[in-house]
Amino acid sequence: MNTDHNDIEHSEPISVAGPGQLLKEAREALNLSQEDIASRLNLRAHNIHDIETDDYDPKVPTAFIKGYLKAYARIVGVSEFDVLDAFKALGLGEAKYANMQSFSQRTQQEAQNTRLTWVSYAVGISIVAALVWWWLQKPTTEPATSEQLVSEELLITPAVAAPIEEVFEPVSQVMEETDAQLENVAPQGQDIESSVAEETQVTEEAAQSTPETVQTTSNDEPESTASTTEAQGTAEPIVASNELSAELSFSNDCWIKVTDAEGKELAIGVKKGGDKLTVTGTHPLKFIIGAPQAITISYNNTQFDMSQFQAGKIARFQLPE
């Protein structure tokens, strides 16, 4: 028991070599200075010092740090996998990922609450609008109903009151009026027959002229159809005007990320010196550049000014501006 206790007391904590220590030892073995590495990575000497002491800026994305570690490892001839495993052992990437995931969940919850609030507003406005419409329509309906009732009463009243009045005429007078009406029947019948004959003749003439009209219309249809077909055949294809192409040239190793207006990733990762790349997407195109002095960007036959960004600092911008 005492021996075990003594072993526990004399045990020392095991130190884990970080990626900075591995890179520093390899650099010193090659007799290279921090300034030599900084010039090749387009960084400053103090940035190399921070990497070798594993002092990483929490504001810099983990992807950028890994990109510089891999580029540093290639220069000094160290395995990239060993360097990335040592960086992973520090636990920096997992902590940032946990914070980003928590922020993403909180943002998603706020977005859901916002949508629910807008839906509630929309339902309330719809109910109020329906009540207002019902209130405006109700007064105009009642007077119309009362007017209809009054007009119906006026129409019904004379029909009921008419039979009350009775007029008695002499029988001889009634017989004379009946004879006069019978004498007028024959002339009226002749007039009706003549009018019917005239209408029949007009109908036949109209029927004879109808085929000519139909034939003329049918002859005109192919011409209009042919002209429509020619108009469709000469239509030129519509070219999308919301896309933008940019040409990227790299003079040294550089990490980039390019997305379009719809959030689609057009390019991401470390590009080597001498590489050329063309990206096309819905503008504006958003750029994140790790080494602004190691890249040249051209679009619309115009070269974008990269000298406005400080060396060793991440550049964020969009095109067109």
Instruction: Evaluate whether residue 289 is within a structural domain.
Output: yes
Asked whether the predicted pLDDT for residue 232 surpasses 60, the reply is no
| pLDDT tier, 190 (very low <50, low <70, confident <90, very high otherwise) | very low
- pLDDT: which is higher, 169 or 274: 274
Asked whether the predicted pLDDT for residue 313 surpasses 50, the reply is yes
11-69: pLDDT as tens digits: 444 456 789 899 999 899 999 999 999 999 999 999 999 999 988 888 889 899 999 99
- pLDDT: which is higher, 288 or 154: 288
- pLDDT: which is higher, 182 or 119: 119
Asked whether the predicted pLDDT for residue 123 surpasses 90, the reply is yes
Long-range contacts of 140-147 (CB under 8 A, 24+ apart): none
Q: Look up residue 41 and give its two tokens.
A: 């990575």
| pLDDT tier, 316 (very low <50, low <70, confident <90, very high otherwise) | very high
Asked whether the predicted pLDDT for residue 146 surpasses 70, the reply is no
The domain spanning residue 257 has which CATH number? 2.60.40
pLDDT of residue 205: 52
Q: What is the mean pLDDT of residues 279-284?
A: 92
Instruction: Evaluate whether residue 218 is within a structural domain.
Output: no
- How would you label 268-284 residue by residue, b for 16+ Cβ within 10 Å and e otherwise? eebbeeeeebebebbbe
Instruction: Evaluate whether residue 304 is within a structural domain.
Output: yes
Asked whether the predicted pLDDT for residue 179 surpasses 80, the reply is no
- pLDDT: which is higher, 215 or 299: 299
Cα atoms found within 13 Å of the Cα of residue 180, Cβ hemisphere only: 6
Q: Are 253 and 291 in contact (CB under 8 A)?
A: yes
The domain spanning residue 68 has which CATH number? 1.10.260.40
Instruction: Evaluate whether residue 219 is within a structural domain.
Output: no
% of the chain with per-residue pLDDT over 70? 59
pLDDT of residue 107: 72
Total domains in the fold of the chain: 2
At which of 90, 111, 138 does a domain end? 90
Instruction: Evaluate whether residue 85 is within a structural domain.
Output: yes
Asked whether the predicted pLDDT for residue 125 surpasses 90, the reply is yes
At which of 90, 112, 130 does a domain end? 90
| pLDDT tier, 239 (very low <50, low <70, confident <90, very high otherwise) | very low
Q: Look up residue 179 and give its two tokens.
A: 């004879």
Asked whether the predicted pLDDT for residue 249 surpasses 50, the reply is yes
Asked whether the predicted pLDDT for residue 314 surpasses 90, the reply is yes
Q: What is the mean pLDDT of residues 145-152?
A: 55
Instruction: Evaluate whether residue 125 is within a structural domain.
Output: no
What is the average pLDDT value for the chain, to the nearest integer? 73
At which of 90, 111, 127 does a domain end? 90
Cα-based angle 169, 173, 175 (whole degrees, multiple of 5): 115
Instruction: Evaluate whether residue 313 is within a structural domain.
Output: yes
Write the DSSP string, 9-76.
Answer: HH--PPPPPPHHHHHHHHHHHTT--HHHHHHHHT--HHHHHHHHTT---TTS-HHHHHHHHHHHHHHH
Domain that holds residue 59: 15-90
Q: Are 82 and 54 in contact (CB under 8 A)?
A: no
pLDDT of residue 167: 46
- pLDDT: which is higher, 279 or 98: 279
| pLDDT tier, 283 (very low <50, low <70, confident <90, very high otherwise) | confident
Residue 36 CA to residue 46 CA, distance in Å, equals 12
Instruction: Evaluate whether residue 182 is within a structural domain.
Output: no
Confidence (pTM): 0.30
| pLDDT tier, 138 (very low <50, low <70, confident <90, very high otherwise) | confident
